[in-house]
Amino acid sequence: MTIDVIGIENPLIDLLVQVEDEFLEQIQVEKNKMYLIDQERLRNVLQALDGRRIHPEPGGSCANTLIGIARLGGSTAYCGMVGGDDYGRVYVEKLEAAGVKSYIASNGNLTGSTVILVTPDAARTMNTYLGACQDLDASSIPLEALRRARMLYITGYLWDTPGQQEAAQLALSTAGKAGLTVAMSLADPFCVARHAEDFRRILREHVHLVFANREEALALTQTDNAQQALRVLREWCPGAVITLGGNGALVAEGDELAYLDPFPVKAVDTTGAGDAFAAGYLYGKLRDASLLQRGRLGSYFAAQVIQHMGPRLEQDPRTVLRPVLDDPRN
């Protein structure tokens, strides 16, 4: 069976909590950033949150995107590592219930988790304990399934441990030999800062389409504005998407370039916005939609997701995105 998109990354249980700005000061974190934390720090953060309502959801950036594509009608599969605990079992069950084929391995470590602190302005501050995720290595990659796919989707989070890097390198080289389209999300500004040289090399050698927000794009390209960043990214790989938050997005592939106006909505929680954008865009690409329609699908999907808590829609995305899917102008 052909797989439209196979993704490799970190299966994380998302623990979403609404907090005030003062809480971020209390636990000494900067708003809208992602922190890699150890088990002791995780325990301390959860203790500080005692009494608040926590929304647990299977997550991880790549998984969110694959679930979005699957719910739109695409065929997707996912590779990663979870622990042999309840969170790990629930993660696999919910992933497959959402329509994503699981190639997830497990071990004796704890399943990774991300405590996502959502402030009243809808900004999210992430505290990630990788747990079992960091034990992924090259032996975990489902090579036969990968060779049957049309597209490989990875994120920059895979560069945070040597074993994960080996797994990513094997997947990239296998995808190249099999003729797959390779798409990559830069993941996070801190991730870009840690691995900028590796990312520039990967984009030049393996990637056909890169996703980044404005901050990530400027950091990687060392430029001053999104237009310059887009130009540099296109020198490194054929396609690039730069999301601009409430200011829309820039998309370019080949000789085409488009600016996308934002869909005006009231943001409640921006968790998963970039993942939803990638899902809509990649689904459009799989359907051979125009560049404009791909971008509009991504933008509209993200706009719907940020209007509620959590990284995904409860409603059927095909119904929610119907105004864009059926737009005769695209």
pLDDT for 266 beyond 70: yes
CA distance 143 to 164: 15
pLDDT of residue 160: 85
- Region 263-269: mean pLDDT is 83
- Region 201-216: mean pLDDT is 97
| Weakest-pLDDT range from 8-12, 40-44, 57-61, 279-283 | 57-61
Q: What is the mean pLDDT of the chain?
A: 92
pLDDT tens for each residue of 82-125: 999 988 998 999 899 999 999 999 998 999 999 999 999 988 89
pLDDT for 242 beyond 80: yes
DSSP states along 223-254:
-SSHHHHHHHHHHHSSEEEEE-GGG-EEEEET
pLDDT of residue 268: 81
pLDDT of residue 330: 55
pTM score above 0.85: yes
pLDDT tens for each residue of 168-199: 999 999 999 999 999 999 988 889 999 999 99
Higher-confidence residue: 305 or 167?
167
Q: Which of 209, 203, 213 is nearest to 34 (CA)?
A: 213
CA distance 156 to 195: 8
> In this prediction, what percent of the chain has a pLDDT beyond 90?
74
pLDDT of residue 200: 97
- Region 235-264: mean pLDDT is 93
pLDDT for 243 beyond 90: yes
pLDDT of residue 19: 95
pLDDT tens for each residue of 119-173: 999 888 999 998 999 999 999 999 999 999 999 999 999 998 899 999 999 999 9
- Region 205-223: mean pLDDT is 97
- Say whether domain 3-9+62-108+137-325 belongs to CATH 3.40.1190.20: yes
- Residue ranges of the alpha helices (H) in the chain? 21-26, 39-48, 61-72, 86-97, 143-147, 162-178, 189-205, 214-221, 226-236, 273-286, 291-305, 317-320, 322-325
pLDDT of residue 187: 86
Overall residue count recorded for the chain in this entry: 330
Q: Which of 203, 229, 207 is nearest to 218 (CA)?
A: 229
CB 272 within 8 A of CB 312: yes
pLDDT of residue 307: 87
How many Cα atoms within 13 Å fall on the side-chain side of residue 235? 9
pLDDT tens for each residue of 314-326: 788 888 888 877 7
CA distance 134 to 109: 10
Alpha-carbon distance values, 293 to 254, 299, 301 (Å): 15, 10, 12
Residue 76: strand, helix, or coil: strand
pLDDT for 327 beyond 80: no
Question: 328 falls in which pLDDT band (50, 70, 90)?
Answer: low
